[in-house]
Amino acid sequence: MTVMVSTARQYLPELNGSPNQQILPLTATVNDRDGLEIGGCAVTDLVQKFGSPLYILDEDTLRAACREYQQAWQKYYNGSSLPIYASKAWNCLAICHMVIAEGMGIDVVSEGELRTALQAGAQPDRIYFHGNNKSRAELELAIAEGCNIVVDNWLEIETLAELAVKVVRPVPVMLRLTPGIECHTHEYIRTGHLDSKFGFDPTRIEELFKYLVTKPHLHCLGVHAHIGSQIFEQQPHQDLAEVMVGWFTKAQSFGLNISEINVGGGLGVKYTELDDPQSIDTWVQGVATALNQACAAAQIEPPKVISEPGRSLIANACVTAYQVGSSKEVPGIRKYIAVDGGMSDNPRPITYQSLYRCLLANKMSAPCTETITVAGKHCESGDVLIKDASLPATAAGDILVVPVTGAYNYSMASNYNRITRPAAVLVQDGSAEIMIDRETWQDLLRFDRLPARLQQ
């Protein structure tokens, strides 16, 4: 859809609202050179210093989102709470370090994510290890480190029961169940409906609880469900709250010493003006109220609640800056410009047909008079970041910024076409520091070996 934008200033953040409701990070401003600044740093200066493409992560925006989640749970929920960061959105040392420092826990899904969280200083009892096919080695590692394990299926629970016998403390496990709740989001990122590869079938819940009662080496901490991602409606999570309290009381009736409910993640974010997500505060209020009511109706003390935001914590804290290169006009059809990155640093448009907006960091007040399609540099016709973007007259050398690239961009980035992954910088109060180095061509070659017979 073509949307005419007056100038890029229209993307500047509004004073009210959560980070997930802003297209640009909270600290975005325009300086006296008509340039975009984030965290007090001019984007064009950052590109000059660190190169392009460049992920620019705004520390204040990330921390503000962490605080809003925690404060909202404390305000609205009648029991204790722990928001944990779904680090699949972007797992690296610096980000894990910041969310831990903000008092959050971490959700990890692999040995790599787990080891990064541990190295960043996460307390093992605040790490929740997810995954529908964890390896035996991963389970052994999680047990040895003392992490909570979110069990997904029968093979896993049987493996855990076997491994748990060998350790002194009971192994803390959460049960992931598929709640059968539909929500309107892209098919690939919907997980709560019954036909999903994740979680136990809730119709077998009694069997599961009976099994756990016979396994004293496993400590059933609680129940978990995640219904999907980029969700704008309130109702699905409120329905979920009720369903989960039902599972919780059922576990109690089997004599299990259960104490936690994990409602997953899923709150949507604003990528373009077409998206209208709830604020973090409103989302938490809705889920907390539904949980409070369901607990009151079931006459139980509200258990500890875990929520697992990924996208809504980090997506809007980051932008990607590119340098504009070649252009091409197909008369009467379309004008293209190409940037120095594309589907390797942002695979979401080609994977999910996700929409993004863009702006020129060096022309914030210039009227957007042109409709231009922003292509990447990969050898693939579908490598288009934004179709029919509204931009000012654009020339080679301009710095094009795509906002809302903090979630599932770096973490899903690839080296397609042997293109190196960009660097990421962390900005705050006028200082910018590297948080992930830019890959080099030497990095790309480091796993390559020439078999001896090819060398003769």
Which residues contact ligand LLP by CB under 6 A? 86, 88-89, 107, 130, 189, 226, 229-230, 264-267, 308-312, 348, 352, 407-408
Cβ nearer to ligand LLP, comparing 293 with 351: 351
Nearer of residues 319 and 407 to ligand LLP, judged by Cβ:
407
Q: Smallest distance, Å, CB 43 to ligand LLP?
A: 24
Residue 175: name the closest of 154, 195, 190 by CA: 154
**Min dist. Cβ of residue 116 to ligand LLP (A):** 17
Task: State the minimum distance, in angstroms, from the CB of residue 88 to ligand LLP.
Answer: 6
Phi and psi, residue 394, nearest 5°: -120, 135
Residue 234 carries which side chain, given as an amino acid letter?
Q
Residue 7 or 87 with smaller CB distance to ligand LLP: 87
- Taking a C-beta distance cutoff of 8 angstroms, is the pair 76, 352 a contact? no
Residue closer to ligand LLP (CB basis): 11 or 271: 271
**Min CB(401)–ligand LLP separation in Å:** 19
Q: Exactly one of 96, 183, 358, 379 is catalytic; name it.
A: 379
Output the six-digit token pair for 321.
């800056």
| Residues 252 and 223 sit within 8 Å (Cβ to Cβ) | no
Q: Is 66 a catalytic residue?
A: no
Cβ atoms 440, 420 nearer than 8 A: yes
Angle 415-122-189 (CA atoms, 0-180°, nearest 5)? 50
Cα angle: 32, vertex 39, 415; to 5 degrees: 110
Of 344 and 390, nearer to ligand LLP (C-beta) is 344
Q: At which residue do the structure tokens 């409606």 appear?
A: 233
CB-count burial class (<10 Å; 0-12, 13-18, 19+) for 301 = exposed
Q: Is-contact 188 210, C-beta < 8 A?
A: no
Least distance between ligand LLP and beta carbon 253 (Å) = 26
- DSSP letter assigned to residue 439: P
Give, as one character, the DSSP assignment of residue 194.
S
- Count of CB atoms within 10 A of residue 24's CB? 24
Could you write out the DSSP letters of every residue in 47-69?
Answer: HHHH-SSEEEEEHHHHHHHHHHH
Q: CA–CA separation, 287 vs 307, rounded Å? A: 10
What is the C-alpha to C-alpha distance for residues 284 and 146, in angstroms, rounded to an integer? 29
Residue 320 Cα distances to 1, 4, 334, 385, 401, angstroms: 22, 22, 24, 12, 6
- Rounded (5°) CA angle 383-384-385: 120
Residue 150: CB minimum distance to ligand LLP, A:
7
The distance of closest approach from Cβ of residue 181 to ligand LLP in the complex, given in angstroms and rounded to an integer, is 14
Q: 86 vs 151, which CB is nearer to ligand LLP? A: 86
The total of other beta-carbon atoms located within 10 Å of residue 16's CB is 7
Backbone angles phi, psi at 99, to 5 degrees: -70, -35
Tell whether the torsion through CA atoms of 266, 269, 271 and 277 is positive or negative: positive
Least CB distance from residue 219 to ligand LLP, whole Å? Answer: 20
Q: What is the DSSP string of 265-310?
A: --B---SSTT--PPPHHHHHHHHHHHHHHHHHHHT-PPPEEEE--S
Instruction: Please identify every residue annotated as catalytic.
Output: 379
